[in-house]
Amino acid sequence: MRTQVGIIGAGPAGLFLAHLLHRAGIESVILERRTRSEVETTLRAGVLEHWVTDLMTELGVGARMRREAHSHDGITLQWNKARFHLDIAGLTGGRHVTVYPQHEVLIDLIAARLAQGGVMMFETAAKAIDGIETDTPSIRFRSGADGEQRVLHCDYVVAADGFHGPGRTAMRAAIPGARQHEYETVYPFAWLGILTRAPQSWHELIYANQHDGFALCSTRSPTVQRLYLQCDADDAIAAWPDERIWAALQDRLGYDGWTLHEGPIMQKSIIPLRSFVCEPMQYGRLFLAGDAAHIVPPTGAKGLNLAVADVLVLSRALAARYHHNRQDLLAGYSDRALRRVWKAERFSWFMTTMLHRNDQAPAFQHKIHMADLDLIRTNRATAQAVAENYVGLPFDD
């Protein structure tokens, strides 16, 4: 097989890249180890930055999002039994965020890509990436449990296959040690997330830090809610029966004159939290995008948005290479992408440390975080900085 750009992974980075390349008249093939059903039914929350929703509309994949998603002009911060509405729209010139689950985004992207005649190979595991220091890189892959190993020849390889995928492995093996750096922070707490069939409790997301930790209240639909609470990083799901979950949520989200609606819990899971960045994000003809290059804790709602930002930068560089024979944008992809990555990492770290209780940290830090929250409440410049980061920073062309 041959194509211009070989893409490993049918997550947000891989699928958005395929659409962006198609718009630019560049061929691509996506290899995805999971089935289409697994990709489309893996439930993950999604808060889309303003520019991402605009991009989906430009690409012709935003119709269902516009019908079904919830646009939010702000978020609610809660601490010490007080609530504060952060007016994102008012602080950012009318911009807003859109709550639309990630798997719904993927459903839309997959359907549209197949309708375009795009080649997407599900149940296809990339086994190795060869020749990334040459002009003829390739991906060795196997389809199905007993499929014959085949090769996808391409001009460039984009690994959008997550933290444990072969893309990052190939990058680590190829780059000389002195040029490769990985930065990581593993947080001593995790999120316990639930999906519950219950009526909406609040009109926008609530981020709370009170009593014994963090909680988040968000809406999936008028009858289905997504809720999270902080737990220990080594907790087992069995340690959290439904009664304990609701008691913790009621305690941390409690507010006078307000009720958190309860209902049957349809799904629950524990999500570890980490911050991670791999530098550089390219070597030879191999490029990393999304979780293969960086991971953020979900507190700042940056994961999907950052993956899309990577491939927007990369697609422009590939278009310049194919249409104008310019190599400079491809050569500068990593540096350009990392400027945005580190800003998102900083914001996600700030939101995470401010809104969680860390028993391993001194009490002094807890007081600082309470001061941060109060500064957002009382200082417009601070509030505006948080709002601009939350809704999505502009691209610095």
Write out the DSSP string of 328-381: HHHHTHHHHHHHHHHHHHHHHHHHHHHHS--TTS-HHHHHHHHHHHHHHHH-HH
Catalytic choice (302, 322, 333, 369): 302
Collapsing DSSP to helix, strand or coil, 93 comes out as coil
Task: Examine the residue annotation and report whether 72 is marked as an active-site residue of this protein.
Answer: yes
Determine contact, residues 214/355, Cβ cutoff 8 Å.
Answer: yes
Cβ count within 10 A of residue 8: 32
Collapsing DSSP to helix, strand or coil, 304 comes out as helix
Task: Examine the residue annotation and report whether 298 is marked as an active-site residue of this protein.
Answer: yes
Catalytic choice (100, 187, 207, 283): 207
Task: Examine the residue annotation and report whether 207 is marked as an active-site residue of this protein.
Answer: yes
User: Tokens 């929250």, residue?
Assistant: 373
CA–CA separation, 394 vs 397, rounded Å?
Answer: 9
How far is CA 236 from each of CA 214, 222, 232, 240, 356, rounded to the nearest angstrom?
A: 18, 30, 9, 8, 19
CA–CA separation, 17 vs 370, rounded Å?
Answer: 40
Catalytic choice (50, 70, 72, 294): 72
Task: Examine the residue annotation and report whether 390 is marked as an active-site residue of this protein.
Answer: yes
Determine contact, residues 103/42, Cβ cutoff 8 Å.
Answer: yes
Q: For residue 12, what are its two tokens?
A: 């947000």
Catalytic choice (12, 137, 166, 298): 298
Name the residues annotated as catalytic: 72, 207, 298, 302, 390
